[in-house]
Amino acid sequence: MGLLECCARCLIGAPFASLVATGLCFFGVALFCGCGHEALTGTEQLIETYFSKNYQDYEFLIDVIHGFQYFIYGTAAFFFLYGALLLAEGFYTTGAVRQIFGDYRTTICGKGLSATFVGITYVLTIIWLLVFACSAVPVYIYFNTWTTCQSIGNPTKTSASIGTLCADARMYGVLPWNAFPGKVCGSNLLSICKTSEFQMTFHLFIAAFVGAAATLVSLVTFIIATTYNFAVLRLMGRGTKF
């Protein structure tokens, strides 16, 4: 067998769906975890600097942020490992397809492993839908703040008084209602929106949201690929005596 023919057979048997899903998963998780971690750190600094001078007001928020950051560490490690396992499972099943007319026979262990991957991937997709929804919340909050700043910067486009246009961290549950001042209004808010800290944090949350969306798409692709792989193994196993 020549080198060219060998390479052609390898390309034909490659699990392209699993390869695409793995690459998308790694990209999405890296974007979500990296940008999400830095965005949470930026949010902590903005709250400390502009919205509350009393540590007790945002002590619980700091604990929540640190908890999410640890969650991000675990998520990154888990998905990189799980993506590699799903890619290996794709190569395993494709190897079975390539040998469908040979001496290869599927085993109960092989089919059970594929079924396990299908079930785990379905559960992960449902969980990640919640993560995806949660990642949209800070984007919504920052977008509302940015929109308010645009209104302050262009007073002719709004009938409200500039002094009444505020960003209140308390109304989103970021700070307790007894936090002081808890909100920033008018020209002070506009100056915050112009800072590099605010702009960077806002864009980092957008990037994290995009990463969560990419990871969700990769999981859906994995569902399709693993379900197809399991169906192939089931069909190959029919008529086989175990």
> Does residue 9 lie in a domain region?
no
Amino acid at 5: E
Into how many domains does the chain fold?
A: 1
Q: How far apart are CA 87 and CA 97, in angstroms?
A: 15
Choice between 116 and 15, residue whose per-residue pLDDT is larger: 116
pLDDT for the residue numbered 241: 36
- pLDDT reading at 104 higher than 80: no
Mean pLDDT of 34-52: 92
Residue 36 vs residue 98, higher pLDDT: 36
For residue 148, is it within any domain?
yes
Q: How far apart are CA 29 and CA 207, in angstroms?
A: 11
Which residue range forms the structural domain that includes residue 134? 18-237
Residue 103 has pLDDT above 50, yes or no: no
Tell me which amino acid residue 177 is.
Answer: W
Distance, in Å, from the CA atom of 35 to the CA atom of 26, rounded to the nearest integer, reads: 14
Position 242 scores a pLDDT of 31
pLDDT given at position 15: 66
Asked whether residue 162 is assigned to any structural domain, the reply reads: yes
**Per-residue confidence band for 95, with pLDDT thresholds at 50, 70 and 90:** low
- Residue 96 near residue 236 (C-beta atoms within 8 A): yes
Is there a domain that residue 59 lies in?
yes
Q: Give the DSSP H or E segment for 125.
A: helix 108-153
Mean pLDDT along residues 7-17: 56
pLDDT tens figures, 166-188: 999 898 888 888 888 889 999 99
Q: Give this prediction's pTM.
A: 0.84
Q: What is the pLDDT, as a whole number, of residue 200? A: 96
Report, as an integer, the average pLDDT of 182-199. 92
Q: What is the mean pLDDT of the chain?
A: 82
- Residue 13 within a domain: no
Q: What is the pLDDT of residue 115?
A: 77
Could you read off the pLDDT of 110-165 as tens digits, one per residue?
566 777 888 888 999 999 999 999 999 999 999 999 999 998 888 777 767 788 88
pLDDT for the residue 237: 57
Residue 67 lies in a domain: yes
Q: Which amino acid is at 174?
A: V
Q: How far apart are the first and last CA of the chain?
A: 34
Buried b (16+ CB within 10 A) or exposed e, 65-87: beeebeebeebbeebeebbeebb
Percent of the chain with pLDDT over 70: 80
Helix, coil or strand: residue 71: helix
Residue 11, pLDDT > 60, answer no
Quote the pLDDT of residue 88: 79
At residue 116, the pLDDT reads: 82
pLDDT band at residue 196 under the 50/70/90 scheme: very high
* Residue 30: HSE in the Cβ half-sphere, 13 Å Cα cutoff: 9
CA quadruple 79, 84, 87, 88: dihedral sign: negative
| Residue, of 79 and 155, whose pLDDT is higher | 79
DSSP letter assigned to residue 169: G
Domain-embedded: residue 120 = yes
Split at pLDDT 50, 70, 90, the class of 28 is very high
User: Does residue 1 belong to any structural domain of this protein?
Assistant: no
- What single-letter DSSP state applies at residue 52? B
